[in-house]
Amino acid sequence: MPVRRLRRRSLKFLVASDAPLLDRLARLPAVPIAELVELLERMPDLARDPLFAGLTGVDEEGNPGVHPLFAAVVEHLRQKPDATCYAALLEALTGIWNAAVRGAVVARLRAAGLPADDLLLRLQALSPTLGFQAEKREWAREWMADPTAQDAQLVQQCLVRLLLAMRGLAEARARALTDPGPPSPDATAAPGDITV
């Protein structure tokens, strides 16, 4: 697939628009994971939610179901009911970022001829977040066997976590937009600002 270059001006716009979104999400009232889990349990059909439609389907008997990865991430989130959706969002973005940087660094190190046995040591020396801590030795061994598959699995988990966190934050924003009360801070945004 050919990759088209964006003009410098377009790229500048894309980067500049990232910070305000994260700032707006951080200003929303905290949404505990427990509240997100309750929301998911109240939803009659996850397939009707645009964030989750691709993660739902039917089982062999024709009953609605969710992708096993979706169920596993929700179960993992349930173990931290006091955590917030914003924290889950940041964890997801951090996991995706670490996998992306790790993949780029590994590709460069391999191209330079670094032996596979030295990859983990070199990654740890370059940045603690790229290597694996001592308590994750088993995952490090699995990663060494197939780095691409292991990081791809991590990215998939992070993407599901990201979608779940965004849904929880979207619920808080929807509440702010639809519940009676004083106007939200974004109601006074300048023309042309994206405030959704």
Look up the pTM and report it. Answer: 0.76
Angle 72-76-82 from CA coordinates, rounded to 5°? 150
Quick one: CA dihedral 9, 13, 15, 19, positive or negative? positive
pLDDT digits (tens, 9 = 90+) for 58-87: 888 888 889 999 999 999 999 998 999 999
- Provide φ and ψ at 58, rounded to 5°: -125, 150
Q: In the prediction, which pLDDT does 15 show? A: 46
How much is the average pLDDT of 15-21?
Answer: 59
**C-alpha of 128 from chain center:** 20
Question: Are the C-beta atoms of 51 and 166 separated by less than 8 Å?
Answer: yes
Q: How confident is the model at residue 14 (pLDDT cuts 50, 70, 90)?
A: very low
In angstroms, rounded to a whole number, what is the distance separating the alpha carbons of residues 137 and 143? 10
Question: Are the C-beta atoms of 28 and 173 separated by less than 8 Å?
Answer: yes
Please count the other Cβ atoms lying within 10 Å of the Cβ belonging to residue 15.
Answer: 9
pLDDT digits (tens, 9 = 90+) for 99-133: 998 888 888 988 999 887 787 778 778 777 766 66
